[in-house]
């Protein structure tokens, strides 16, 4: 992907874009892949980096969502399991099967979870990953050696999917560009343009070099997740909010706290939440929380109370208990949950299925959803957009569309013993993947800040220097980049 070349496409105002997308997370990039692969002239603008919002901060599971069975959302589970099957086939380098155990510390739990997960397998049908089994206590401990042994009756063993969220976003950006889309990071939409009451396009600013662009389109799609209401207010300042953001955080620990390559799912903690401990790039991710009433920010910070909750709950299920100073990294994201009409209640009870709203001026907003279901969300959104803009009918082709999910080369010496990346890997991201800032490289093209904040800060000066040479930037730029990284990875 060549950013200057893509940016220059915005200068050509002779022809309207068919589809203009605001937001470059899972939702917007999914729509760009869908629209471009149907042959629609498509442009996507992301104010920061691809996936810099919630889409790089998920639990990294491509899953049906076992807990939605408990809340009776069977159709959401079925849809998610179908999409899991598509993703395992369409992005096999980035989406992999992952086994889980659900430990049983009460005599009836193995039966309860066993029946629920057998139903989960049945709902997956032909797209299932592997069969659910009962494991005895010793069999469970042979998979998760650090699980608390005292009181363990056994477990339910099942399969789901795991992925690298920010890397999948880049794979989608590359796939969209290969299909003819113009996809840009660091371009912020500030205004919608109208003719009479109808939206005709938008105005956006390049955050890297400062250029302003006026873009006309047949339809504008708001795919800005937790920010959806701010774009809806550019259309109508008095519109009421439809998004109820809910913060979820993760802490990252040494993999010894898991002691295996199988994840652990606690379907109901004492206070009724779901807890995951999963292996990821030789670390253990532990999450998540569900904190409502938070402000909408691109990079929200974990609250001390959320970190305490995760450390405390991990200690209840693990033999060697993690402490605060074992934490290697933390990250927080905002779920873009759609408010039901009427009383909101707790955000953990809000549905994770998606909604599409069309305003009177024709702004199409896609809200809610999950990473797992991005393809279906995109298909629904583009169907609706094509009707609205009276685009030439063209069927969705993404069910079997292979995504360009090659990983950085892995050649050369590691930047640091704690990080699985070399300087050559970092260089490729600047030359080929539109990484424009140090955090683009260290947080999303490579996942360094998510794996080990201290190791990232150690190697950052060398990476910033390489970037300054590649991008023709000066010493002040390098110093600013290092400062910005320290804010994100403070340890």
User: Measured from the CB of residue 318, what is the shortest distance to ligand FAD in angstroms?
Assistant: 21
User: Measured from the CB of residue 310, what is the shortest distance to ligand FAD in angstroms?
Assistant: 12
Alpha-carbon distance 478 to 109, whole Å?
Answer: 55
User: Measured from the CB of residue 128, what is the shortest distance to ligand FAD in angstroms?
Assistant: 18
Joined tokens for residue 435: 């990484």
Residue 45 found at the interface with ligand FAD (CB under 6 A): yes
CA angle centred on 153, ends 151 and 154, rounded to 5°: 130
Strand spans (E) along 196-301:
198-206, 212-222, 243-254, 263-266, 275-280, 283-287, 291-292
Q: Could you tell me which residues come within 8 angstroms of residue 127 by beta carbon, excluding any fewer than 6 positions away?
A: 81, 82, 84, 85, 86
Alpha-carbon distance 15 to 169, whole Å?
Answer: 28
Candidate residues 18, 24, 426, 478; the one interacting with ligand FAD per rule CB under 6 A: 24
Q: Residue 244 CA to chain centroid, in angstroms?
A: 18
Contacts to ligand FAD from residues 108-147, by CB under 6 A: none
Candidate residues 6, 21, 25, 434; the one interacting with ligand FAD per rule CB under 6 A: 25
Q: Tell me which residue of 432, 449, 439, 462 sits closest to 491, measured CA to CA.
A: 449
Selected range binding ligand FAD among 66-74, 123-131, 329-337, 341-349, rule: CB under 6 A: 329-337
Q: Could you tell me which residues come within 8 angstroms of residue 311 by beta carbon, excluding any fewer than 6 positions away?
A: 251, 322, 323, 324, 327
* Residue 334, strand partner residues: 247
Residue 27 found at the interface with ligand FAD (CB under 6 A): yes
User: Measured from the CB of residue 10, what is the shortest distance to ligand FAD in angstroms?
Assistant: 14
Taking residues 187 to 206 in sequence order and writing x for each that binds ligand FAD by CB under 6 A, - otherwise, the string is -xx-----------------
Candidate residues 158, 159, 227, 280; the one interacting with ligand FAD per rule CB under 6 A: 227
Candidate residues 141, 226, 253, 329; the one interacting with ligand FAD per rule CB under 6 A: 226
Candidate residues 47, 146, 200, 348; the one interacting with ligand FAD per rule CB under 6 A: 47
User: Measured from the CB of residue 380, what is the shortest distance to ligand FAD in angstroms?
Assistant: 13
Strand 283-287 relative to strand 17-22, pairing:
unpaired
Q: Tell me which residue of 22, 456, 59 sits closest to 278, measured CA to CA.
A: 59
User: Measured from the CB of residue 333, what is the shortest distance to ligand FAD in angstroms?
Assistant: 4
Contacts to ligand FAD from residues 416-445, by CB under 6 A: none
Residue 54 found at the interface with ligand FAD (CB under 6 A): yes
**Residues of the shown chain interacting with ligand FAD in the complex, contacts defined by CB under 6 A:** 22-28, 45-48, 51-55, 57-61, 188-189, 223-227, 248, 288, 298, 333-336, 369-372
């Amino acid at each position: 992907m060549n950013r200057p070349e893509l940016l220059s496409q915005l200068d050509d105002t002779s022809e309207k874009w068919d589809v203009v997308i605001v937001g470059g997370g899972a939702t917007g990039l999914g729509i760009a892949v869908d629209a471009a692969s149907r042959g629609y002239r498509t442009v996507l603008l992301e104010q920061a980096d691809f996936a810099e919002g919630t889409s790089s901060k998920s639990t990294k599971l491509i899953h049906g969502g076992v807990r939605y069975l408990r809340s009776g959302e069977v159709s959401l589970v079925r849809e998610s399991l179908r999409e899991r099957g598509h993703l395992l086939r369409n992005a096999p380098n980035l989406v992999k099967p992952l086994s889980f155990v659900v430990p049983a510390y009460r005599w009836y739990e193995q039966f309860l979870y066993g029946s629920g997960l057998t139903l989960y397998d049945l709902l997956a049908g032909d797209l299932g990953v592997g069969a659910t089994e009962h494991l005895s206590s010793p069999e469970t401990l042979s998979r998760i050696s650090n699980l608390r042994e005292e009181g363990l009756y056994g477990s339910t063993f099942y399969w789901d999917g795991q992925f690298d969220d920010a890397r999948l976003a880049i794979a989608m950006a590359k796939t969209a560009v290969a299909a003819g889309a113009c996809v840009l990071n660091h371009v912020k939409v500030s205004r919608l343009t109208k003719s009479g009451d109808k939206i005709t396009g938008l105005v956006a600013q390049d955050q890297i070099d400062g250029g302003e662009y006026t873009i006309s389109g047949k339809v504008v799609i708001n795919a800005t997740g937790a920010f959806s209401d701010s774009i809806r207010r550019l259309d109508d300042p008095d519109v009421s909010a439809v998004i109820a953001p809910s913060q979820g955080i993760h802490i990252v620990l040494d993999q010894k706290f898991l002691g295996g390559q199988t994840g652990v799912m606690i379907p109901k903690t004492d206070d009724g939440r779901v807890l995951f401990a999963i292996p990821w790039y030789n670390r253990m991710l532990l999450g998540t929380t569900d904190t409502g009433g938070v402000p909408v920010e691109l990079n929200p910070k974990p609250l001390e109370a959320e970190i305490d909750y995760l450390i405390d709950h991990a200690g209840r299920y693990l033999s060697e208990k993690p402490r605060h100073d074992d934490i290697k990294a933390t990250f927080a994201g905002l779920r873009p949950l759609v408010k039901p009409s009427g009383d909101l209640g707790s955000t953990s009870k809000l549905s994770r299925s998606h909604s599409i709203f069309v305003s009177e001026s024709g702004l199409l907003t896609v809200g809610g959803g999950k990473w797992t279901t991005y393809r279906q969300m995109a298909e629904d959104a583009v169907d609706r957009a094509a009707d609205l803009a009276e685009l030439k009918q063209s069927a969705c082709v993404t069910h079997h569309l292979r995504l360009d999910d090659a990983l950085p080369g892995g050649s050369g010496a590691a930047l640091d013993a704690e990080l699985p990346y070399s300087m050559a890997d970092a260089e490729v991201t600047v030359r080929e993947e539109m990484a424009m800032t140090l955090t683009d490289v260290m947080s999303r093209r490579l996942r360094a800040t998510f794996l080990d904040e201290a190791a990232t800060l150690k190697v950052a000066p060398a990476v910033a220097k390489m970037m300054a040479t590649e991008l023709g930037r000066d010493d002040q730029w390098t110093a600013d980049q290092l400062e910005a990284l320290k804010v994100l990875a403070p340890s």
